[in-house]
Structure 1
């Protein structure tokens, strides 16, 4: 079962990155838990509602979202993903072009994996 869950999380992780790149708000809504807390690179904490509003309004507009160096740990009905993501585009009025290290916690709810927590920092590599 652990292997099946790891595969499901990896599929969802890819779906999440694609949704970020394409502003697919409905898919983001499906993948993010309603009570999500996410710490951004400047220390701000965002909720799911805040994140979805930013994508809906177009204040997040990314044209490159490519992952590498993914690490996955399964812990019960939780999965912890650490991944480097190269991002190019516009984020809240700022042009960005760099690599960022994300940490996301996925939790299994019935048959659906959802992100319940996360953070991002600029990558040094």
Structure 2
């Protein structure tokens, strides 16, 4: 796996998140994904996708910075800081978050198999 593959996948993933593009998110998230939220809840791919399908998640601003990528064989680990503004379930969402994501190569595609997020500010 090449680092540019992950750089591009991260850009496409964040664009899909910002645009609530469920079809693109389905492509990038592995069916067995587990993701830990800042409140300690662990969600699945379907729970995540449902938040976009239902309109619960609305992103107005999404800016990534401080990205670190480590490629290990067919797996990549990403750490990235994200400024997020929007709404979740009609509650304001405004803060700086640190995401960790694990990408794995599957044939021609890379998919997120695990991740977590913590709020910094």
TM-score, scaled to structure 1: 0.94
For 1:11, the equivalent position in structure 2 comes to 8
SS of alignment partner, residue 107 of structure 1: strand
Tell me how far apart the structure 1 counterparts of residues 89 and 24 of structure 2 sit (CA, whole Å).
Answer: 20
SS of alignment partner, residue 41 of structure 1: coil
* Runs of 4+ with >6 A deviation: none
Gaps of 5+ in 1: none
For these two proteins, the number of residue pairs brought into alignment is 121
Tell me how far apart the structure 1 counterparts of residues 69 and 46 of structure 2 sit (CA, whole Å).
Answer: 26
Q: CA deviation at 1:92?
A: 3.1
For 2:119, the equivalent position in structure 1 comes to 122
TM-score, scaled to structure 2: 0.97
Tell me how far apart the structure 1 counterparts of residues 120 and 71 of structure 2 sit (CA, whole Å).
Answer: 24
Tell me how far apart the structure 2 counterparts of residues 36 and 92 of structure 1 sit (CA, whole Å).
Answer: 22
Report the aligned-residue RMSD: 0.9
